[in-house]
Amino acid sequence: MKKIWNNKGMVLPTVIIIGAIVIMTGVVLLSMGVLDVKSGKFFERNTQAYMYARSAGEAIVKQIEVGDFVLNGNQGNSYTGSVDGSGVEDYEIYIDRKSLGGTDYEFTITSTGKYQGVEEDVKIIYNAQLGEKSTFYPSTALFAYGDINLNSNAIKIIGDIGTNEEDGSITIKDILYYDNNGNLIKVDDTKDHLFYDMGVSLSPILSMAELNNEGVFTSDINVDSDSLPAVFDGEPITLVDGVLTVEGDASITIPDGNEIELVLNDFISESGTKFDVLGEGVLQIYVRESVAVNGDVNMDEPWNHLNLEIYYDGTSGDVNIDKNGNLCAYFQFLNHDVSPDNIASKSNFIGALVTPYGQYATKKQDKYITINGKASDYDHNFIYAPYAILAPGNGGSEFEGSMIFGEVDGSGNIIISYKPFETGIYLPGVDVEAVNVYELSHWQK
């Protein structure tokens, strides 16, 4: 008997199988679509983070090129600049420095861009040669805390000119400027302005109230010395009622490290006399009323102004060096309203002149110190007058040494020639910034 097959029983399983296949295919396709979306978003975040890193790096490279950012000394997470305007929203900069020996270094800038939890880095490699900051001490013939205005072609400067004004405040008209070898050169062809950073103060000008505190006088400066120390024994020098008088040729020797202090009303050296301070020690004299130098005082060669210090506290300005007298000393005026012209304008003074003249003056004319004289005068001088105004005078005076003033203003006829001078008062050196050379080597992902 022939069997007849009936397919009606296969319909349902077939439908079920086909449905399962469709569902599985849909799930697969859906999963693949989700993965594609996720992958696309990740790619977008990754790309955006990289672009931030790259853009921040390019911005820093530009800053390095124009000098707005210096690599040296900025290692680690020390970048404090800004990449605003470069489209970067979130970034981080890390700088690493590696020595290659000597002055050669390698800098690696790691720029990290951040976007929606994704971070990407780029590295910028620089090769560098790093110099060192240095200081040099110019041969400063003329220095001013403020302006220097020289408007005469009869003025010659042999040495360096400097001010405390960083932007430069030196006005020179037809000045004859010489180098240290005496060669005439044009100011425009030289660095005629040297900036001294006065963050380092010079030695202070001592006032009467500061004398004891500074250890210059251990004795009471309000009490006259009533007798001369033993070192004066047998010398033609008298001390009567606070008046010390050199009456004949005399000399005293003060051993190294020793100081002799005298507090006087007046100091007088008579005409034709000689008084020398020998040895490496110091004679310090405080004078209240007058100084009259009619003979030679401390002129034994080689001249040594450091072993005789005179502090003049008089208010009359009664200080005189006679035409036949000569004085070699460190001479300091203590009163700011007493003009030092009687010393400054005398060519027979050798040494250091220190004065606070003009410190509280309200009128410009009350600050001027005039240097007059004849050729070959002022052979060995230093003037420290930080509140006064130098007015170069007439007479063709030649000043060898160094001048430090508050300002310089005038014409006149003078030659200022630098000569090293030991005073205990020194200008700070001029800083020379390090020269660093940076060369972009390559970028690295």
Contact by Cβ (8 Å): 333, 357: yes
**Which one, of 303, 297, 272, 284, lies nearest residue 229 by Cα?**
284
| Structure token digits, residue 409 | 């203003």
**Which one, of 295, 306, 301, lies nearest residue 256 by Cα?**
306
Residue 135 pLDDT exceeds 60 = yes
Mean pLDDT of 194-204: 57
Distances (CA, A) of 194 to 157, 168, 335, 422, 435: 14, 8, 31, 21, 18
Contact by Cβ (8 Å): 136, 430: yes
Residue 85 pLDDT exceeds 60 = no
Distances (CA, A) of 201 to 179, 198, 205: 28, 6, 11
What's the pLDDT tens digit per position in 234-289? Answer: 999 999 999 999 999 999 999 998 999 999 999 999 999 999 999 999 999 999 99
Strand 134-136 relative to strand 430-432, pairing? antiparallel
Mean pLDDT of 99-119: 89
Give pLDDT, residue 263: 95
Mean pLDDT of 312-335: 91
CA 171-355-192 angle, 5° bins = 20
Q: Which of 25-34, 69-78, 337-346, 366-375 has the lowest mean pLDDT?
A: 25-34
Q: Which of 115-129, 382-396, 414-428 has the lowest mean pLDDT?
A: 414-428
Give pLDDT, residue 13: 66
Residue 343 pLDDT exceeds 90 = no
Between 430 and 300, whose confidence is greater?
300
Give pLDDT, residue 108: 93
For 418, other C-beta atoms within 10 Å of its C-beta total 22
Q: What is the mean pLDDT of the chain?
A: 80
**Which one, of 345, 405, 359, 388, lies nearest residue 170 by Cα?**
405
Mean pLDDT of 190-208: 59
* pLDDT range class, residue 29, cuts 50, 70, 90: low
Mean pLDDT of 325-337: 92
Give pLDDT, residue 167: 53
Task: Please state, for a pLDDT cut of 90, what percent of the chain lies above it.
Answer: 28
Residue 46 pLDDT exceeds 50 = yes
Strand 104-115 relative to strand 381-392, pairing? unpaired
Give pLDDT, residue 292: 96
Contact by Cβ (8 Å): 382, 402: yes
Give pLDDT, residue 294: 96
Give pLDDT, residue 278: 95
Residue 40 pLDDT exceeds 60 = no
Between 88 and 299, whose confidence is greater?
299
* pLDDT range class, residue 38, cuts 50, 70, 90: very low
How far is 106 from 191, CA to CA, in rounded Å? Answer: 34
* pLDDT range class, residue 25, cuts 50, 70, 90: low
Residue 386 pLDDT exceeds 70 = yes
Give pLDDT, residue 68: 83
